[in-house]
Chain A
């Protein structure tokens, strides 16, 4: 007994059969819009077994694919071929014939289009769409359609709509009043007919078409164009321009529109030029050229308009706009010297020095060569200016080349030669610069500019002291020459230091003394002399020199610091103490707490520790602690010094004292917060950091703010990592930059 299949089994079996059936598969593809697949499957099915229904279906799918390809995808030949195939497969279906005709019509194949329309009309004389397009095709072919079968196939109201157009095209326009058509097309033809016949009411009839956004763009554009023609007939150029620009924006693209716009812009540009409205003229001429650029008159007008407009803009200080106008002038072929010079000026004003330099170069080259025009000195000045622009553009090579041209034209111009020297130096051509300086100095041995440059070049050499005689000569000629004073002092000081290192104390002292003749207000030179006297075991003279140093900058603690340090380096504790006493006498009263601050002693302590003079260093720390009493800044400085020396207990004690004096102290709160954070008392730590942040914001101390944020972030990360069983991050490094470890103790 055969077992009966279940309902689901039956359904699955049916689906399997359907899947195997190409007709069904083609239908599925068709419904999914996969026309390629549907065509392939159904063609295969037809090959296996002829079927009227499948043939009709295949025609429909060709039709749909043809329409899509032709009208949507821009594949016109392929679309046309599909439509032809649809019409071949189902020649009795007039839709296919009509659309084949329509496609030919689009392609400009009017004969083939007409043949298709006629075929459709023969089969069905009531096919109005075919009749309409057949009439239009006949009109496009220049034929009168009125006596044709297509015309007769049109309903009377359609004939009424077409009649004004037929009249217009045939040169026999019908008056507006003669018909009262309802449709848009007919009203447009009547309005245009009114325009053609010069009827005064044409404007009113055309305006609604131009302004109605619901009308097709091409209709609005044609109405606007006709309105422009009408305005021009009444000599209203501005109005015509407005209508024609609207027509252009709406997509009207006909030779007559472009030609008329071109003429109108050109005429308006001429008017603007005559009235001296240069910018308007330039814009109008540009517009005319954008439509048709031929014509020498228009080109000349355009470049002149831009030249004038640029000049007006430059005179008003609008150099960017001036440049834009002149560039257009140049691009149109204007290359007069005047324009080149203006362009060069404009490039300079716009800081485009490379282009400016190139143009100035052209200006010099195309200068008039008559003897009565430019002197050689003026030519040299121009070359000098070219060089200056190249220098500003960073092109040293060209600057040198053009400066050489300048010098060639005016060889006696020392300023130009010095500029050449500077350019050569900028190009690292030291030898050439030195030679040029030699030429100047042979002629003018006392030229200060040349001597200064010569000394500078000498200093660049391997033996800087070679520059000394030149600096001395400059000072002999000009005793107050600041650069010479500073450079010679520096060279002598360095020479003195070198001699001192070699133990030539007497010679070193001579150098320092000479340096002091140029810069007698420099305290460190006196300290250098004191150093020499210590070497000569003349402590009295050393004290005298140090006192002179203090007299130069009485309240400058750095000078006292250097003096104390010098004494300790020399092992002169007694003199060091004397310096501190002098500092207390002279500089102490000038300080905020009328005494030497803790920081002064801490700096000294730091230096002593670096030199391993521990006992002396400790003594200075104690002095610092005494100086810090009642001074929050001093207490914080001591605290930070203690932290730097890993003495956190004392640091916390000083921070605590500082916060009692000034609870809002930013640095004290930051470091107190850090101390609490290291023992995991985050509540207290955060309280101090909040205060530190407030202070930082109030005082605008961005660095402090950054340090507070870094500290908080660091400890948050550290806590997270420890809680997750990970190793903590490396220690926090807040670089305070207060006690630098530079090796500058000697």
Chain B
């Protein structure tokens, strides 16, 4: 059984917007069929036909609309533009961490500090 949701967006197939009128749907279908006649583009025609069938009657269209992909609300940036605040200075701890790298604090092997045991 093919479910409603397995069929793509018929408006997109017919190159229409969601709110298109019945007349617009009809005209878009016939215009597209002229561009994809069944003799030369049987697959394209099949897709057009299936899309048209989904939107042909008001009842079928209402049913189709129930299972369509929903567009997200348009993105509206915050009204007050956010000002990015960067810290552009070098801090003591950053410098001191680097300074440590040049000293014994960056080492973990001190075997050269061992001395022989004489008993």
Determine whether the beta carbon of B117 is less than 8 Å from that of A184. Answer: no
| B102 proximity list for chain A (CB < 8 A) | 183-185, 216, 219
Binding site for A on B (CB under 8 A): 1, 3-6, 9, 12, 62-63, 66-67, 69-73, 75, 77-78, 82, 84-110, 113-115, 117-119
Give the total of A residues in contact with B, Cβ under 8 Å: 82
| Complex Cα–Cα for A184 and B102 (A) | 8
Query: Does any Cβ of B come within 8 Å of A408's Cβ?
Result: no
Contact with B along A528-568 (1 / 0, CB 8 A): 00000000000000000000000000000000000000000
Determine whether the beta carbon of A219 is less than 8 Å from that of B69. Answer: no
Nearest first, the 9 closest Cβ-Cβ pairs linking A and B are: A338-B70, A216-B101, A71-B108, A307-B72, A185-B102, A222-B98, A57-B117, A267-B84, A218-B101
| Complex Cα–Cα for A216 and B87 (A) | 24
Determine whether the beta carbon of B117 is less than 8 Å from that of A27. Answer: yes
| Complex Cα–Cα for A710 and B110 (A) | 70
| B89 proximity list for chain A (CB < 8 A) | 196, 229, 256
| Complex Cα–Cα for A24 and B119 (A) | 9
Q: Which of A23, A195, A260, A273 contacts B87 (CB 8 A)?
A: A260
| Of listed B5, B82, B86, B100, residue having the most chain A CB within 10 A | B86
| Complex Cα–Cα for A196 and B106 (A) | 25
A192-B95 contact in complex given A60-B114, A378-B63, A385-B4, C-beta closer than 8 Å: yes
A129-B104 contact in complex given A60-B115, A264-B84, A381-B63, C-beta closer than 8 Å: yes
| A229 proximity list for chain B (CB < 8 A) | 88-90
Determine whether the beta carbon of B94 is less than 8 Å from that of A254. Answer: yes
Query: Does any Cβ of B come within 8 Å of A697's Cβ?
Result: no
A222-B75 contact in complex given A216-B106, A378-B66, C-beta closer than 8 Å: no
Determine whether the beta carbon of A263 is less than 8 Å from that of B67. Answer: no
Beyond A27-B119, A139-B99, A259-B87, 12 additional contacts (C-beta under 8 Å) are: A54-B119, A60-B115, A71-B109, A140-B96, A216-B106, A225-B94, A229-B88, A254-B94, A297-B82, A307-B72, A311-B71, A381-B66
Determine whether the beta carbon of A192 is less than 8 Å from that of B90. Answer: yes
A136-B103 contact in complex given A168-B95, A222-B94, C-beta closer than 8 Å: yes
Determine whether the beta carbon of A102 is less than 8 Å from that of B105. Answer: yes
Determine whether the beta carbon of A264 is less than 8 Å from that of B99. Answer: no
Q: Which of B5, B84, B97, B103 contacts A348 (CB 8 A)?
A: B5
| Complex Cα–Cα for A339 and B100 (A) | 52
A232-B95 contact in complex given A23-B119, A60-B114, C-beta closer than 8 Å: no
Query: In this complex, what residue of B is CB-closest to A140?
Result: B96
Query: Does any Cβ of B come within 8 Å of A37's Cβ?
Result: no
Determine whether the beta carbon of A67 is less than 8 Å from that of B110. Answer: yes
| A7 proximity list for chain B (CB < 8 A) | none
| Complex Cα–Cα for A315 and B86 (A) | 38
Contact with B along A216-229 (1 / 0, CB 8 A): 10110010011001
| Complex Cα–Cα for A447 and B26 (A) | 34
| Complex Cα–Cα for A270 and B62 (A) | 37
Q: Determine how close the nearest CB of chain B comes to the CB of A455; give it in whole angstroms.
A: 21
Determine whether the beta carbon of A30 is less than 8 Å from that of B117. Answer: yes
Query: In this complex, what residue of B is CB-closest to A367?
Result: B66
Determine whether the beta carbon of A315 is less than 8 Å from that of B69. Answer: yes
Query: Does any Cβ of B come within 8 Å of A342's Cβ?
Result: yes
Determine whether the beta carbon of B104 is less than 8 Å from that of A218. Answer: no
Interface of A is mostly: helix
| A226 proximity list for chain B (CB < 8 A) | 90
| B88 proximity list for chain A (CB < 8 A) | 229, 232-233
| A252 proximity list for chain B (CB < 8 A) | 94
| Complex Cα–Cα for A315 and B68 (A) | 11
| Complex Cα–Cα for A27 and B116 (A) | 11
Q: Determine how close the nearest CB of chain A comes to the CB of B86; give it in whole angstroms.
A: 5
| B1 proximity list for chain A (CB < 8 A) | 388
| Of listed B4, B85, B98, B107, residue having the most chain A CB within 10 A | B98
Q: Can you identify 24 A-B contacts, CB atoms within 8 angstroms?
A: A24-B119, A54-B119, A60-B117, A64-B114, A71-B109, A95-B115, A105-B105, A132-B104, A136-B99, A136-B105, A192-B95, A216-B101, A216-B102, A219-B98, A233-B88, A252-B94, A297-B82, A307-B72, A308-B75, A314-B69, A339-B72, A342-B70, A381-B66, A385-B3
Query: In this complex, what residue of A is CB-closest to B108?
Result: A71
Q: Determine how close the nearest CB of chain A comes to the CB of B113; give it in whole angstroms.
A: 5
Q: Determine how close the nearest CB of chain B comes to the CB of A287; give it in whole angstroms.
A: 14
Contact with B along A32-57 (1 / 0, CB 8 A): 00000000000000000000011011
| A133 proximity list for chain B (CB < 8 A) | 103-105
Q: Which of A95, A196, A218, A254 contacts B100 (CB 8 A)?
A: A218
Q: Which of A105, A263, A342 contacts B85 (CB 8 A)?
A: A263
| A30 proximity list for chain B (CB < 8 A) | 117
Within 182-225 of A, Cβ neighbours of B (below 8 Å) are at 183-185, 188-189, 192, 195-196, 216, 218-219, 222, 225
A254-B86 contact in complex given A273-B77, A378-B62, A388-B1, C-beta closer than 8 Å: no
| A165 proximity list for chain B (CB < 8 A) | 95, 99
A254-B93 contact in complex given A185-B99, A345-B67, A388-B1, C-beta closer than 8 Å: yes
| Of listed A106, A222, A382, residue having the most chain B CB within 10 A | A222
| Complex Cα–Cα for A229 and B84 (A) | 14
| A2 proximity list for chain B (CB < 8 A) | none
Query: Does any Cβ of B come within 8 Å of A341's Cβ?
Result: yes
Determine whether the beta carbon of B113 is less than 8 Å from that of A95. Answer: yes
Query: Does any Cβ of B come within 8 Å of A441's Cβ?
Result: no
Contact with B along A381-408 (1 / 0, CB 8 A): 1100100100000000000000000000
Q: Determine how close the nearest CB of chain A comes to the CB of B73; give it in whole angstroms.
A: 8
Query: In this complex, what residue of B is CB-closest to A186?
Result: B102
| Complex Cα–Cα for A169 and B98 (A) | 12
| B114 proximity list for chain A (CB < 8 A) | 60, 63-64
| Complex Cα–Cα for A78 and B58 (A) | 82
Determine whether the beta carbon of B104 is less than 8 Å from that of A270. Answer: no
Query: Does any Cβ of B come within 8 Å of A369's Cβ?
Result: no
| Complex Cα–Cα for A490 and B82 (A) | 78
Q: Which of A63, A336, A382 contacts B66 (CB 8 A)?
A: A382
Determine whether the beta carbon of B75 is less than 8 Å from that of A256. Answer: no
Q: Determine how close the nearest CB of chain B comes to the CB of A393; give it in whole angstroms.
A: 13
Query: Does any Cβ of B come within 8 Å of A513's Cβ?
Result: no
Contact with B along A317-339 (1 / 0, CB 8 A): 00000000000000000001111
